[in-house]
Amino acid sequence: MSSTAGPAPLVVGFDLDLTLIDTVAGFGDVLRVLGAELGVEFPVEEMTSRLGPPLEVLLEPHLAAEEVAPAGDRFRELYPHHAIETVPALPGAHEALAAVRRRRGRVVVVTGKHTPNARLHLDHVGFDVDHLEGRVWGVGKADVLVREGASIYVGDHVHDVEGALAAGVTSVSVLTGGCTREELEAAGTHVVLDSLADFPAWLDDHLLETRLAALESDLRRRGSVLVAYSGGADSAFLLAAAVRALGPDRVVAATGYSHSLPQAERDPARDFAASLGVEVLTPETHEMDREGYRANSGDRCYFCKAELVDVLGPLAEARGLAVVATGTNADDAVAGFRPGIRAADERGAVAPLRDAGLTKDQVRAASRRWGLPTWDKPAAACLSSRVAYGVEVTPHRLARVERAEAAVRGLLAPLGVRDLRVRDLGDRASVEVDRALLPLAPEVEQAVLASVRGAGFAEVAVDDRGFRSGSLNELLG
């Protein structure tokens, strides 16, 4: 059976002082005010040169034992009045948090700072975090990181490294605090960055490497696989990954041939699979025989994928292949309206890219790294996706769309057209092309309209909103 849980969500923990914010000046100001009240001249420069340990540890060398706790409490009372407005975010901090958000991750701040004061800092600099935990230090941070499900902890101090290692997560250290590269590496950190400005690029590389390793592990565990192979970027990458993990003798590609698959897609798909040394099966699928598919309600893709997996399942079994695998990626899984994914899951197909957490961008990045010609291939959904919901899908309609798109692509090729759809809206056609090409020159637009009419549409218009993947879903609402 398929596993639909996917990888654990990305959770990244960050220290606060000298990792996200530059508290040196503000901390020093509070020390001076506290010292004036207590009649003590604190060595401010020395005390702020290695911020990180708990406040009481910093105060102990300069006060009698019984004075340390009350002085710490008073410091925290003074802090909001002297060390919030003047404390800025460190360079790259906002971008680092945004990088986590782009990957649909959670941000957790785990700091030794007094929690209310830490919250004031977050609010002042405009950091949007999912969870804040204060008054924890060193290995004590591990409990929080484990509880919150973090896989990465970013800090500036050797004690941040201790917390990360105790939690069993990746330790990322930045050189914006008082610890040197040598000290951080000696403590066992996995990564040292000059600053958080380097974090987004590191995170992208780290996630890609981690997810590729998860994909390879998954495929090796399967032992053999029949890849539902359309020739698009996702299924081509999955096919290549399967060959890398298992060898071509334990991988078979299967492309369902039907009216829904454009003729222009077939030869390139076979050629790519052949370049990997993989056997290619081209069974006919008969989704058009399924009433739900022809009716073309919002769940049309359910019937299409059901037909495909129902055809491929026996082929896999006959060849002794463990599973049927689809090219569903992690973005597909959260895209909302994807009935085809449900049909595949119900029939026991697996989705290794999704389960490894690989997004569309990561599939393209890895494909480019591996030298696959499909790395920048435009999305090429089946021809039925061009027919508006509620309009019956027929071979005639699909052939008409295919002729129209081929004609328009030929006309716009000199302009560098990439994404192109001719939508069959029943009584008329709508042409969607890359937004960057709009508006088309009048003579070009007239040629486009004429070519679509020549393919069999009586009425046609160019959509001034440009290409939008899944734009027909807009009509469902």
| Tens-digit pLDDT profile for residues 113-154 | 999 999 999 999 999 999 999 999 999 999 999 999 999 999
Report which residue type is found at 451: S
> Residue 380, Cα to own-chain centre: how many angstroms?
21
- Report how far Cα 336 is from the mean position of its chain's Cα atoms: 15
State mean pLDDT over 435-449. 96
Query: Residue 462: beta bridge partners?
Result: 431
Q: HSE on the CB side for 305, CA within 13 Å? A: 24
Could you tell me if 196 and 96 are in contact, meaning their C-beta atoms sit under 8 angstroms apart?
yes
- DSSP states of 16-84 as a string? -BTTTB--HHHHHHHHHHHHHHHT----HHHHHTT--S-HHHHHGGGS-HHHHHHHHHHHHHHHHHHSS
Residue-level pLDDT at 1:
39
* Angle between helix 233-246 and 199-222 (nearest 10): 60
> Is the CB of residue 323 less than 8 Å from the CB of residue 355?
no
Element (H, E) at 343: helix 339-346
Distance CA 354, CA 103 (A): 14
Task: Say which residues have a Cβ less than 8 Å from residue 23's Cβ, sequence separation at least 6.
Answer: 16, 17, 51, 83, 87, 121
What pLDDT, on a 0 to 100 scale, did the predictor assign at position 462? 97
Name the percent of the chain lying above pLDDT 90: 82
> Per-residue pLDDT for 3 more than 70?
no
| Tens digits of residue pLDDT in 16-51 | 999 999 998 888 999 999 999 999 999 998 888 878
In this prediction, residues 337-364 reach a mean pLDDT of 94
pLDDT of residue 266: 84
Instruction: Please give the Cα distance from 384 to 397 (Å, whole number).
Output: 9
Q: What angle do CA 441, 445, 446 make, to 5 degrees?
A: 120
Segment 81-88 shows an average pLDDT of: 91
Band the pLDDT of 476: cuts 50, 70, 90: low
Q: What is the pLDDT of residue 393?
A: 95
Query: Average pLDDT, stretch 218-225?
Result: 98
pTM (predicted TM-score):
0.83
* Amino acid at residue number 228: A
* Residue among 420, 427, 401, 426 nearest 462 (CA): 420
In this predicted structure, the answer to whether residue 92 has a pLDDT above a threshold of 90 is yes
pLDDT tens digit sequence for 285-294: 999 999 999 9
Report, as an integer, the average pLDDT of 89-101.
97
Strands (E), 123-217: 131-133, 152-155, 170-174, 191-193
